[in-house]
Amino acid sequence: MNTVKKIISILIIMLMIFAMAGCQTTDDNVPETPEVPEVPEEPTGEKSEMNADVIVVGAGGAGMSAALEAAQSGSSVIVLEKLGIIGGNAIGAASYNAADYDLQKNYELHESERAEIERFIELEPENDLMKEWQLQLKNEFDEYNKNGSTYLFDSPSLHKIQTYVAGDYLGKPELVDTLCENALENLKWLEGLGANWTNQISAIIGATWPRTHTPTLDWGMAGSSFVLPQAKKFEELGGELFLGYKAEELILDGERVIGVRGSTDKGEAFEIKANKGVILASGGFAANVEMRQKYNKHWANLDSSIGTTNMPGATGDGITMAESVGANLVGMEWIQLVVGSRITPSITNSIYVNTEGNRVVKEDGRRDEICNAILSQPGSYVYAIYDSHTVQDLLGGKAYDGKDIESMIDGKEYVKGETVEELAKNLDIPADTLQATIDKFNDAVDNGNDEFGRSVFQYRLDKGPFYAVYQTPNVHHTMGGVEINEKAEVLGTNGNVIDGLYACGEVAGGLHGTNRIGGNAIADIVTFGRIAGKSAAQK
């Protein structure tokens, strides 16, 4: 590829990241703008043949974590990305779940949260591993109470139980154990590469517990911290990244996967052999309407009238390729919808109200429960109500993509009122009903006795100005995919490992069961991305 095209490709990446951020962070300690990995020269001819120890399909958070781990293990690595940019869905995310005492000790444990911990301890265990988690949690919580502690309790054992229970016990327990046990370590790994975090802990929609970490805007929009630190280090180690390269077929030698075939966005065929293994990190299928309609069993409709939060590259390519070589697919019917806001994905200090000004669901519940409740409302939408405790005190007036929240107010999707009465007027909903709804919620914050059974609280909604954000469900995450084990090795329909094939991130199924906890996806892609990279490199 000539120099001019190379420069254009790099500019596209940088413009996407920083234009979406919308503003420059004011942190005095902001590092220099990180360099985005260059696009290697394109091969010439009708068919290009290349070779590397490890091939990674997909340049999102899972793919770049896998690629960096493999490269740090001394393997030569080629990353293939069908889009003209790196990042995948991760670059638009803003939340990472991990039990983290250093931050959580700054928050108080509500009585409703205490009751939730006790409930999880008393649940009937589904298997020996869950029983082990419960015993560990009981011992930890007994010690916490013995010491007279009042800070926000958390631990990997609680994270494991909540993840497993939220997925209706259909997640593979061994994968759940691996994720939650290593989540904090892998957050620190990102930190060691240059990612930074705010000093706040929150609970995003569907998180069920305040353990969500949010990146600063040092690397651009928040989700850049889940991809660019790995990409920068990968480039420094001599890794190769090919943009506009779509993998279409896995190459077999007998029953072993030895490479991939595909085509570039210029229509040129390529074939790349892998000495050690191929890692699929190509994401789910939320952007593939035909595929989600094929597997959907639980939603009334997932056709093109239902939008998606995903990047256009989330079309299930890796799942299809893996299935063609005998991979077992699990949980494909479990497709998650979500509502969200650019102001913040956190639900800690917000409520959902319908067009009549009434709450409709417990905001800290499961995503499927929340979306079903919203879809049953007039117009199938609600408004998320925030006050200045969140918008000003916690966020400093910045959305998680870096944009000034005040500049987003348009009177339609983003609405503001100096008082509750003014907000209600601007929303064209009854002011007395909205005020009564907020008063009742504030009473629940004080007393923990919420009419919907909510247990996660922080601040009352009582500090103006007040804000409302239009919310409607979109297809967000596909829990099903290629079955893997704890080493990220792909399993065939016969239950055996498919030699030379690995998978990580949303392309893999079996971790989240029927329902993914909000904030677990980034912990998932980094944790199992690293595992996949190590496993392939050690082959």
Active site residues: 367
Long-range contacts of 172-176 (CB under 8 A, 24+ apart): 172/510, 172/511, 173/126, 173/127, 173/129, 173/130, 174/129, 174/485, 174/486, 175/484, 175/486, 175/510, 175/511, 175/528, 176/511
Q: Is-contact 175 487, C-beta < 8 A?
A: no
Rounded CA separation 455/465 (Å): 25
CA-based nearest residue to 212, from 29, 346, 72: 346
Q: Are strands 474-478 and 240-243 parallel, antiparallel or unpaired?
A: unpaired
How far is Cα 329 from Cα 332, in angstroms, rounded to an integer?
Answer: 7
Residue type, 128: D
In sequence order, the 6+-apart residues with CB closer than 8 A to the CB of 426 are: 411, 415, 416, 417, 468
Give the separation between CA 165 and CA 158, rounded to whole angstroms. 11
For CA atoms 280, 284, 290, 293, the dihedral sign is positive
Instruction: For Cα atoms 416, 470, 295, give the angle at the middle one, nearest 5 degrees.
Output: 165
The single residue listed with the structure tokens 């990047």 is 311
Please choose, from the candidates 529, 531, 539, 517, the residue with its C-alpha nearest in 3D space to the C-alpha of residue 162.
Answer: 517
CA–CA distance, 24 with 32 (Å, rounded to integer):
12
State the CB neighbour count (10 A cutoff) for residue 256: 14
**Comparing C-alpha atoms, which of 489, 484, 481 is closest to residue 535?**
489
Give the torsion through C-alpha atoms of 172, 173, 179, 182, to 10 deg: -150
Give the Cβ contact number of residue 276 at 10 Å: 22
Cα separation, 244 vs 254, in Å, equals 29
Can you read off the two tokens belonging to residue 444? 């629940």
CB-based burial label for 92 (10 Å; 0-12, 13-18, 19+): buried
Q: How many angstroms separate the CA atoms of 342 and 351, rounded?
A: 16
